[in-house]
Structure 1
């Protein structure tokens, strides 16, 4: 692993510790049979447990029709030797989503897609000067969705 990749990993982990808020937009593309469209903005409580950075997200999601729903998610970020692992903590049990590997000084991409049933999840992460941008794509027989997260 080269110096730029190691520096990118260190910078990502340092920035994850500083996150306090997030927003996301959910949209669906051609062929999607879901109504997963809307936006949310909320808070992130960040804690550290050993090599893990834990995110507890709380927000209010507003769908395309204006309906509001409380939203809570817990994620675990872990610095590994040559990637950062992102897991979803469901009932405190980790579900591996992605190993994000540096592809540029400020950009990361999933090492391999996450498969959930017939759906395939992919992700890209970009470090901007004032935020972290995480873009998920979910494709399957009934899905063609994009989740566009911003953390700051």
Structure 2
């Protein structure tokens, strides 16, 4: 993971979405490895479909490494206030899936992580009363 340096993603709303969060993002990712975790510091832009202007975005994700799982947390409010999202467990040789969904109010978040030859693909799925979203992240080296 430390060789990753950029990301891109595509956000697509499904038929049941009332949010309509469609668009694409791109940016850089600084990967910092510590004793038992890896942190992704993302900085980039999101461009909604049909818009000419991009919106700045920042994220920090922490991947806690355990013997039989990887725990993913979002540090949007800092490391001390990290929000645990879910544990990813092996599905096959190249794929990890969320062991359970992360419930945030009425919305359920899940993900599938696939190791590919030149990086990582992370597909998010968000389902709720107003949401039917799919976000496909691609983390790559330059």
Shorter-normalised TM range: over 0.9
Match in the other structure for 2:44: 59
Structure 2-normalised TM-score? 0.93
The structure with more helix, counted as a fraction of residues = 1
Query: Would you say 1:109 and 2:97 are equivalent positions?
Result: yes
SS at match of 1:18: coil
Q: Which runs of 5+ in 2 are unaligned?
A: none
Structure 1 CA distance, aligned partners of 2:2 and 2:45?
23
State the match for 2:61 in structure 1: 75
1:141 to 115, 129, 133: 129
Structure 1 equivalent of residue 117 of structure 2:
129
Unpaired stretches in structure 1, ≥5 consecutive residues: 1-15
Give the ranges of 4+ consecutive aligned residues of structure 1 lying more than 3 Å apart after TM superposition. Answer: none
**Cross-structure match for 2:18:** 33
Whole-angstrom CA distance in 2 between matches of 1:34 and 1:22: 23
Shift of 1:50: 2.2
Shift of residue 116 of structure 1? 0.3
**2:3 pairs with one of 15, 18, 37:** 18
Counterpart CA distance in 2 for 1:23 and 1:37 is 14
Count of matched residue positions in the alignment of Structure 1 and Structure 2: 137
With normalisation by structure 1, the TM-score equals 0.87
